[in-house]
A = this chain, B = another copy of it.
Amino acid sequence: MPAPKRKRRSGCPVSVSLEILGDRWSLLIVRDLMVRGLRTFKEFQGSGEHIASNILSDRLRRLETAGIISAETQESDRRRISYRLTEKGIDLAPVLLELLLWGARHEDTAAPCAVIAGMEANRPKVIAEVRRRWLEKDQTPFLPKFQDSRADREARGTKS
């Protein structure tokens, strides 16, 4: 309902969503906040995909401008800024879940089949759990880091 931004390419909701989220990094930050319990700049940097600090800074600003995350300096250490998903941000859970399921089904990823099958069969439960964790500020990781893909591991195994 809110936010009449600048000029849009079109009024199509898909197009509008993609203007906000359509890049290689924004949804990864949302993922880190949503299912990995990460909160700070430094944690995002160490998140495995090696985002450059200027890009991370830019994306955090855009996500905040878009109302998807909010920033708050921590009381205990005022250098630290805690980022948190807004309601609009947590509402991206279904998008992220479907992206995860699609990637796991059609690409070579490090996600265990059993986990994926479980999520696929219980979408509403997964969403509800993610949402509950957000509400209660439960910060324990819901999903692990999925270190590397099968291809990567094999490449390492069969060295050269």
Contact = CB atoms under 8 A, between A and B. Distances in A.
A96 interface: yes
A53 to B, nearest CB: 16
A10 B146 contact: yes
Nearest to A111: B13
A104 B15 CA distance: 10
Interface residues of A, number: 60
Contact of A27 (B1, B14, B105, B149): B14
A22 B23 contact: yes
Nearest to A89: B106
**Assembly of this chain: how many copies?**
2
B13 A103 contact: yes
A153 B135 CA distance: 37
A61 B11 CA distance: 27
A152 B110 contact: no
Nearest to A6: B151
Interface of A: 1-5, 8-25, 27-28, 31, 48-50, 67, 88, 91-92, 94-111, 116, 145-152
10 contacts: A3-B107, A10-B110, A11-B148, A12-B31, A12-B145, A12-B146, A14-B28, A15-B48, A23-B24, A95-B102
